[in-house]
Each structure stands twice: as C-alpha cells, then as structure tokens.
Amino acid sequence: MLPLCTPSRAALMTGYYPYRTGMQHDVLFYTVPAGLPLQFPTMGDYLKRLGYATHIVGKWNLGFCNWKYTPLERGFDSFLGYYQASEFYINHTTGVAPIFGFDFRNNSKVAWEYFNVHSSIPFVKQVTNIIANHDSSKPLFLYIPSQYVHDPHQVPQKYVNLYDNSPITNPIRRQFQGMASAMDDDVGHVIAALKKYGLYENSVIGFTSDNGAHPQNAGNNYPLRGWKGTLFEGGTRVPGFFHSPLLTKTGFVYEGLMHAVDWMPTFIHLAGGIADSDIDGMNMWPSITNNQQSPRSEMIYNLDTTTGNFVGAIRESNWKLTIGEPGNASGWVRPQDVSEIGRASCRERV
C-alpha cells in the first residue's frame, strides 16, 4: 500500500499509481478543495458497467468539495459513512476549531440520526440490510472501508474487557486491541449475513489495511522499519488476504509481490471484465489462487515532488531504492515500546 490513507484508496479504486492521478502527496483533509480527478474511473464505475449493484459503507476520503467527487457520482449506488480521513466514532465530528463539523452521510443526506451512535452499529446494520435486500440475480459489490482501527481510540468497553487478563498492560494498546476485536466481530456479521441470505458460496472477500501502523496510536510494525507516513516497509507493507468458498487452495501465505493498484484489475477480472490497458495494476488472481510466482517483479512505492523536493521509492525484485527523505522516522519500535504517546517518544527509540 501507500504510506497514507488517501493515496492508498486512490490506488485501490483506480489501479493507477497515485503520482499519475495527483493523489500522491498527503491525506485529503477537510480544508482541501480537491478530490480524485474525474477522468479516472473507479472500481465502482467498472463494476456498475458490468451489471453489479455497488455499495460503500464506511470511509471515503477521496474528495467532497463538489458532489461530483462523492461516492454516488463515482460509481456507487449507495453510501453510508463519512467523507473525511478520520473523525470521532460516536459523535462523528471532525476538524479543529473554528473549522469543525459533523460528518456522517446516508447517501447525500446528513445523517443526524446517528449522532452519538457508535459508527459500527449503523455500518453493520447497513451492510446487513444491503445483503438481505439484494436481488440475487444481480451481482453485488460491497466496499466496506472500516473506521477501525484508526484513531481516536473509541470502542465499546466489552471489547477492551477481553484483555483484562492479557499481558498487555498499556491502556492505549488494550484499547487498540479491543478495536481490532470489534472489527473482527463486524467482519463476522458480514459473513453471517452472506451465509444467511445465500450469497456466501459465490463470494470473494478481500481484506487489506491501507497503510502501516503508527506506534503513537498503539500500532506496531516490528520487525519492519518505520511506520505510517513513511516509505519504509513499516509504512507500506500491510496484511491482506482473500477468502472464498471458490478457492481450491487455502491455508498458505502468498509470498509474491502485490501493490495497492493490483486490487482493482484483480476484482475486475473476477467480474468478467477487463480494466483499461494503461493502468499500473495487474490481475493477481491466477498467481495468488494457485500460489504461483507473481506477475509483478517491480513496483513504485510512491513518487512525490509537490513540496519541491523529490521523494520516492521503487522496488525491483528484492532491491529497493529510496530517494529524498522517506519519512520522519527511520528506525524500529519494539513491541514493548508501542503506544508511548507522542512522536518524540517514537523518535527517541530510533
């Protein structure tokens, strides 16, 4: 993936390296009047052309300064979630005073009914309703970019209590672990709904993080170097998997090279379509499902000249080249040092 959420989502949705779409530099914050350029079709656009019902539940973060940048104009039939990079889980506010506001939408409507309701509740309900009411004669694409485990740490206490007797003593890390467990429950509800309404046996589920973890927020990438926001492996190498009853080989770890841009053409292939020939992504399905060599031997982590300084990283086979400043921290944080709050604490460990 990319070091931050907006570039990763742009790559995931379009199959293009973010430096080709202008989304390579940073997160789209609430004051930025920009979005994923309209000339680039999204995964939703492709799948809708192939006859799919398309829905998004969760985080967008690819632009909202004009309705044309929002999900309903980018290939999705429905949207429940928020436009920004992050927000509070319960009151759904974001920003810094005096620019501060409520960010939760049901399609284009402001969803005030979910004020002071933890986001996982309407998200799970929405996904379940979509599956329950789906016309099974039509294919379905559900994009569920979970709010978990992004900061701030807000999770029902029952999930934190799961770690009462664990060796984790740091309260921030225990909250983080609780959020991961809550997300696991949410995924379980999705699987249960697919099974209940007869969609599971013909489904393919892909799961990935959008960037590396940050020790400041109780995440950990050890033994990888660096963290979120850096071009080191700790900022870009993330866990991911496919799950499907259609798989003939299961229970193995795929060692091949895969980039964020590869998700889109892989899913388009599964849907029976063909992505544009000039994208950067590759169809990974045959290689992953048969545990064969990846078609990719090289990739671009990112290229960014927007600050006036050239920053980038590329990989060829097992060799990696970084140019410029790959991140604001260049070392390793041991698991026992995670969640000592404050960036200074992280820097002292490198």
- pLDDT tens for 69-84 read 999 999 999 999 999 9
pLDDT value, residue 347: 39
Q: Which residues pair with 109 in a beta bridge?
A: 106
Cα–Cα distances (Å) from 43 to 56, 81, 272, in that order, read: 11, 18, 13
Half-sphere exposure in the Cβ direction for 26 (13 Å, CA): 9
The Cα–Cα gap between 259 and 330 comes to: 22
pLDDT value, residue 338: 67
3-state secondary structure at position 172: helix
- pLDDT tens for 190-235 read 999 999 999 999 999 999 999 999 988 889 999 999 999 999 999 9
pLDDT value, residue 335: 79
Q: What percent of the chain has pLDDT over 70?
A: 95
pLDDT value, residue 40: 98
The Cα–Cα gap between 346 and 334 comes to: 10
The b/e string for 223-259 (b: 16+ C-beta within 10 A; e otherwise) is: ebbbbbbbbbbbbbbbeeebebeeeeeeeeebeebbb
pLDDT at 349 over 50: no
Looking only at Cα atoms, what is the longest distance across the chain? Answer: 58
pLDDT value, residue 330: 64
pLDDT at 342 over 80: no
The dihedral through the CA atoms of 215, 235, 18, 272 has a sign that is negative
- pLDDT tens for 81-137 read 999 999 999 999 998 878 889 999 999 999 999 999 999 999 999 999 999 999 999
pTM passes above 0.85: yes
Cα–Cα distances (Å) from 65 to 37, 57, 59, 306, in that order, read: 12, 20, 16, 21
pLDDT value, residue 350: 35
pLDDT value, residue 259: 98
DSSP H helices in the chain? 5-14, 18-21, 43-49, 120-132, 157-160, 171-196, 233-236, 263-270, 285-289, 343-348
